[in-house]
Amino acid sequence: MRYIGEKEGINMLKLPMTFEVEARSAGGIATPWTAQSNKFPPIPSSIPPEFMGPGTGYSPEDLFGIAVLNCLIATFKVYCEKAKVTFSEIKGKALVKVNKEPSLVTLHISHIEIFFDVMGSSDPKKARELLDGAIKDCAISNSIKSCKLFHINVS
């Protein structure tokens, strides 16, 4: 079940879309910085303790997980609105795993494990189908090479 390709869906969008973000920082591993879109307040960012930083703001890994969760939730909400399926709440959690393959020198995000609980759905079966569709159509999730593992509970 795919809703994004419907007449009022993706075909009505002006593509390509551009989203501009900025970040700036002074030197030094302990120095936090800010990142932002030109429309919203700055996001405090820093190097996480796992990489010998102070951990006083969102790490790039945090923002990666948040971006994936937000895209999935946004897509699901659009699909529910179009299908007239209501729910009281969706909760998501992502575990972003950074690793290194023995044969490689560089670190990478090996996988992201995503948990969703959809509560108070007017039609749990349909809500599950819509969430499956959102998982297939999420632009951010579709753009990453990392393995994605989903755990879903709909009630």
Q: Do the beta carbons of residue 130 and residue 3 sit within 8 Å?
A: yes
**pLDDT confidence of residue 10:** 61
Indicate the pTM of the whole model. Answer: 0.89
Based on the number of CB atoms within 10 Å of its own CB, is 45 exposed (0-12), middle (13-18) or buried (19 or more)? buried
**The domain at 10-154 falls in which architecture?**
2-Layer Sandwich (3.30)
CA gyration radius, the chain: 18
Domain boundaries, the chain: 10-154
Interior angle at CA 134, CA 130 and CA 135, nearest 5: 120
Q: What is the pLDDT of residues 89-112, one digit of tens each?
A: 999 999 999 999 888 888 999 999
